[in-house]
């Protein structure tokens, strides 16, 4: 990945709907070259998809809850059972397997505290092998980035392996 690829990624991260014509103007390459590079970044798995960012408060989901979950056991069966079921919880937007004292950190969106009580009772407390659930309510979002700016800085870009010519085959 070179400086031009990093520039394309920075522009797409800021606005995934930017046209290839606009990208070509901003970056200084033809729109054909931009399209070829963008496709190569997609095929290499660096760009994994595109999505719209929604204002979830407009859908009534104004309460973000960070939930720390500890399982009865950290056996492979317990982890698999929990992970299979947490994916099916409609209020869960993110789940991380953790090191440390908590096994998982789960992010839940709710309408309000009463709605979270329902989610706790009908979704979270029914997950398999759960020993303890602790919840914290976010008061205000301070930073929400899809990609940290360091990825596009000179020091961040130098840490990325260059893409092999095979992975960026021009077709």
CA distance 9 to 38: 8
**Mapping DSSP to helix (H, G, I), strand (E, B) and coil, where does residue 94 land?**
strand
Do 69 and 89 reside in the same domain of the chain? yes
Structurally, the chain folds into a number of domains equal to 2
CA distance 62 to 159: 37
Radius of gyration of the chain measured on its C-alpha atoms? 21
Confidence bin at 22 (pLDDT 50/70/90): very high
Q: Is residue 163 part of a domain?
A: no
N-terminal to C-terminal alpha carbon distance within the chain: 18
More confident residue, 37 or 157: 37
Do 116 and 93 reside in the same domain of the chain? yes
Q: Which pLDDT value is given to residue 154? A: 62
Give the single-character DSSP code of 133. Answer: E
This prediction has a pTM of 0.79
Q: Is residue 166 part of a domain?
A: no
Confidence bin at 1 (pLDDT 50/70/90): confident
Do 44 and 85 reside in the same domain of the chain? no
More confident residue, 44 or 170: 44
Q: Is residue 26 part of a domain?
A: yes
Token digits of residue 136: 């914290």
Do 62 and 89 reside in the same domain of the chain? yes
Q: Is residue 150 part of a domain?
A: no
Q: Which pLDDT value is given to residue 170? A: 37
């Amino acid at each position: 990945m070179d400086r031009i690829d990093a520039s394309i990624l920075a522009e797409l991260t800021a606005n995934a709907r930017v046209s290839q014509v606009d990208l070509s103007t901003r970056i200084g390459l033809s729109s054909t070259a931009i399209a070829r590079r963008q496709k190569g970044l997609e095929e290499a798995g660096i760009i994994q998809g595109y999505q719209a960012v929604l204002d979830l408060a407009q859908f009534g989901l104004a309460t973000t809850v960070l939930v720390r979950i500890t399982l009865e056991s950290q056996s492979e069966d317990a982890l698999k059972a929990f992970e299979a079921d947490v994916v099916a919880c409609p209020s869960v937007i993110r789940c991380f397997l953790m090191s440390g004292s908590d096994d998982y950190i789960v992010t839940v969106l709710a309408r309000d505290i009463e709605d979270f009580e329902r989610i706790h009772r009908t979704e979270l407390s029914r997950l398999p092998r759960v020993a303890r659930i602790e919840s914290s309510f976010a008061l205000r979002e301070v930073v929400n980035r899809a990609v940290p700016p360091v990825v596009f800085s000179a020091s961040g870009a130098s840490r990325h392996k260059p893409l092999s010519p095979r992975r960026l085959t021009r077709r």
